[in-house]
Amino acid sequence: MSEVEKEVITFFKEKRIISESDNINTIINKPDYLADEAYFLMESFFEKFKVEKGYLDIDKYFNPLPKLDLKYFINLLRFKRIVNNQKPVITLYHLIKVAEKREWFDPV
């Protein structure tokens, strides 16, 4: 295991995004991890690992905050989640590669 890989794993464990039982195939952008939270997480990731190239479209990979309308509250009462599960996946492995290159690139 490379030093960068250890540092990335430690970073996401400290942020409580992954646990001890997770591995490099763990999905980071789970449907319930919303874009506003993800923005700050990824900003601190980019800062720590000096990622200065590329552009991460947060909305492409993370769900927005739900609209607080009548439909939202009805679904909340029915215990339904309103999230899009069709977002492209970002794995821990991908973020290790981003940290190694110091450049954001879209997962394949």
User: What is the secondary structure of the chain as a DSSP string?
Assistant: --HHHHHHHHHHHHTTSS-TT--TT-BSS-TTSBHHHHHHHHHHHHHHTT--BS---HHHHSBPPPP-SHHHHHHHHTT-----TTSPP-BHHHHHHHHHHTB-----
Domain chopping of the chain, boundaries: 3-101
By percentage, how much of the chain surpasses pLDDT 90? Answer: 69
Residues 47-86 pLDDT 10s: 999 999 999 999 999 988 766 677 766 766 666 555 556 8
Residues 33-45 pLDDT 10s: 889 999 999 999 9
Distance CA 14, CA 80 (A): 30
On the CB side of 96, CA atoms within 13 Å amount to 18
Mean pLDDT computed over every residue of the chain = 88
Report the predicted TM-score, pTM, of the whole model to 2 decimal places.
0.81
Q: What is the mean pLDDT of residues 89-94?
A: 97
pLDDT value of position 64:
82
Distance CA 84, CA 92 (A): 20
